[in-house]
Amino acid sequence: MPDWVELILRVAGVLVAFLTLPLVVGQTEHKVMAHMQGRLGPMYAGGFHGWAQLVADGIKFVQKEDVTPRDADRPVFRLAPAVALVPYLLALLVIPLGPGDLVGQPLDIGLFFVLAVVGIGVLAVLMSAWASANKYSLLGGLRGAAQLLGYELPLVLAAASVAMAAGTLSLSGIVEAWRPWWLIWQAPAMVVFFVAGLAEIRRPPFDMPVADSELVFGYMTEYTGLRFAFFLLAEYVGIVVIAALTTVLFLGGWHGPFADAQLGWLWTLLKVFAVAFVIIWLRVAYPRLREDQLQRLCWLVLVPLALAQLVLTVAVRLAL
């Protein structure tokens, strides 16, 4: 197969995943929240089990007027939703779905690349907050900057622990080096990574930057129509990326209970959706943290735990 054909197929596969997996997660969230909270509305659209609820939401966003505030910085205001989406698309390029060639673009420094591009998300928050010319947006942006910059540290430290254990920064290499007993050995790093990842994508209980009961909708207050929908899509893509990274780094990726490597991609997807379900469940089960609680959790719990896990990883590696 010519290289250019293979490149097109890989990019097309990543785009399909980018456009479909977040929608599946969004539809799942509608149904899970409807059952857990006794919501009747999402169960009616389209008939059977409200299957058309997500379609109805999409039509609603398309029909809404795209309004830009008079005093807004128009170019920055309009660019912010794209800046929120692109980093997650780039991250999906290097996350392996299965063994061999089931990855958009294999990189020897895949973990470093993913952590670098995911960190760009704070720019979208600051751009939308500052450009909106709205005090609630600005307050949400400042909260977002403090939250995202703080939780970057435990996220990177937890990822560094498993990379050190595997002896590589390649995501495929980490999965190949993974062993079932890592579920116990690297469990603290997995918890730190998962919690910090929730904070990075601003999901409840870490949704202080939007806080609709306090800040209207934070940095997204002035957005309408498709631009607002792009921010919501970025949130769901973020769920997929964090769930996929948790799967690849800590849950063995394509490793399953059977030795059949042909089903590796299926095990990866099952694990990703299981982690995504936990993320949705946390939204329903836990209230929003206060700002002081959020920062205390980061600096007094997650960072020391991640550092202790690094020390443990070094000790085990030297012992082996």
pTM over 0.85: yes
CA angle 157, 162, 167 (to 5 degrees): 115
Q: What is the pLDDT of residues 295-312, one digit of tens each?
A: 899 999 999 999 999 999
Domain residue spans in the chain? 69-319
Residue type, 235: E
Per-residue pLDDT, 160: 93
Contact 177, 259 (CB under 8 A): no
- How far, in Å, CA of 47 to CA of 29, rounded? 18
pLDDT of residue 220: 85
Q: Region 224-253: what's the mean pLDDT?
A: 89
- Condensed to tens digits (0 to 9), the pLDDT of residues 131-166 reads 888 888 888 888 888 888 889 999 999 999 999 998
Can you point out the beta strands (E) in the chain?
A: none
**Helix and strand numbers, DSSP H then E, in the chain:** 14, 0
- Residue 192's pLDDT band (cuts 50, 70, 90): very high
Residue 1: band (very low, low, confident or very high) from pLDDT cuts 50, 70, 90: low
Q: Please tell me the distance from the alpha carbon of residue 106 to that of residue 168, in angstroms, as a whole number.
A: 13
pLDDT tens-digit series, residues 253-273: 888 776 565 677 888 899 999
Q: Is 179 helix (H, G, I), strand (E, B) or coil?
A: coil
**In whole angstroms, what separates CA 272 from the centre of its chain?**
11
Residue 3 tokens, joined: 């290289």
**pLDDT at position 260, please?**
61
Distance CA 316, CA 49 (A): 50
DSSP string of 26-61, one letter each residue: HHHHHHHHHHHHT--GGGTTTSGGGTTHHHHHHHHH
The answer to whether the CB of 180 falls within 8 A of the CB of 167 is no
| C-alpha distances out from residue 7 to 3, 110, 175, Å | 6, 18, 23
pLDDT confidence bin for 108, thresholds 50/70/90: confident
Tokens at 200, concatenated: 């990075």
Q: What percent of the chain has pLDDT over 90?
A: 24
The conformation of residue 262, written as its DSSP 8-state character, comes to: G
